[in-house]
Amino acid sequence: MANDYRKGEDFDSSNLVIFLYKWRKPLFIVMVVALVGSWFFSSSWFITPKFKSTVILFPASTSSISKALLTEQSAKGQDITAFGEDDQAEQLLQILNSNRIRDRIVRKFNLMSHYGIDSTSDTKYSQLFKEYDFNINFRRTEFMAVQITVYDTDPAMAADIANNISSLLDSAKNEMIHQRAYKGFKVVESEYNGLKAEVERIVDSLVILGGLGLNEVEYQSQVLNQQYAIALMNGNKTAQVAIQKKLDVLGKYGGIYTSLKNALEFKTEQLTLLQAKYKEAKVDAEENMPQKFVVSDAFKAERKSYPIRWLIILVSTVAALFLAIIVIMIMEKISDYNAHKKFQLGQS
């Protein structure tokens, strides 16, 4: 009898429909209380509503103006109009999370005061950065774009902060690029100016030697030797003396002239190559280039995005009902156990 009684009770308790119908009134009360409570505690009296603004952008494939525009044979991925890939997107995310941008946004919008942080507190910066990270975040989308999301109690400020972060991204990355590019430019400039001065000295020396009558040493040597032989055959002493003077000059300075001329050709080729590098380095050091393609600018939101009240109410109500069911089931089991124990004591 006792076993039949237990089996019947277990079957009834495990029947969900019967169980819910049996406890419908308490469960209904719990549901109503959860609905009202979650609605009340998710209101603006307890949770300050916030508005969301978003900027979506793609990274540029190249950061170098010279490689994209001035180099004749640009490498793959150096197209100025091409979108960047994973590496460029990760670079943008690191820059967006850097203090270069964060500190400028904090100063420009006076976020310490806006977030209501006590400026005299010993932990003011920890509180500020925590609040900044909670309200402003960056992520890479499934389409390899970069998304800037800003939450704020003021919809206009949320949009302004998002758009300003997008604008600062260019200046922050260009600053980092220019710091390195400027040093590289100075190295190239020093080499270029030194080689240019060296070429000018060689040209000046060749001009002086040209004034002594040296132009094409090998050709001049052949012609003068022929003329000297003719003068010698004709017994023309005057011509012999004049030609000999020219040959003496040619012999004295001809080697120097040839050496300088060969050096000039070599140095001129070097200077031409270095001049191209100089122009590229100068452009990279002085000019700015957009580092992104903005797909969507942020705009002033018309509706709040936080908190999501319907989700809070739904989750709270379901959780309260689930908890109530668990508690009731436990209470039933305890009650059944006590009843069964009393039944056994009565049988004995």
User: pLDDT tens, 231-275?
Assistant: 667 766 776 666 666 666 666 666 677 777 888 888 888 888 888
Between 38 and 132, the more confident residue is 132
Predicted pLDDT of residue 217 = 61
Taking 60 as the threshold, does the pLDDT of residue 48 lie above it? yes
Distance, CA of 222 to CA of 235 (rounded, Å): 20
At 242 the three-state DSSP class reads helix
Taking 80 as the threshold, does the pLDDT of residue 59 lie above it? yes
Predicted pLDDT of residue 246 = 67
Distance, CA of 147 to CA of 5 (rounded, Å): 63
The mean pLDDT of 35-47, rounded to a whole number, is 73
State residue 295 phi and psi, 5-degree precision: -85, -40
Cβ contact 25:308 at 8 Å: no
Percent of the chain with pLDDT over 70: 72
Which residue type, as a one-letter code, is found at position 203? V
User: pLDDT tens, 301-329?
Assistant: 878 766 677 777 888 888 988 998 888 88
**DSSP one-letter string for 173-241:** HHHHHHHHHHHHHHHHHHHHHHHHHHHHHHHHHHHHHHHTT-S-HHHHHHHHHHHHHHHHHHT-HHHHH
The burial of 104, by beta-carbon neighbours within 10 Å (0-12 exposed, 13-18 middle, 19 or more buried), is given as middle
Cβ contact 125:202 at 8 Å: no
**CATH fold for the domain made of 51-182+290-296:** Alpha-Beta Plaits (3.30.70)
> Residue 94 — very low, low, confident or very high, per pLDDT cuts 50/70/90?
very high
Taking 70 as the threshold, does the pLDDT of residue 152 lie above it? yes
pTM: 0.63
User: pLDDT tens, 110-146?
Assistant: 999 999 999 888 899 999 999 999 999 999 988 888 9
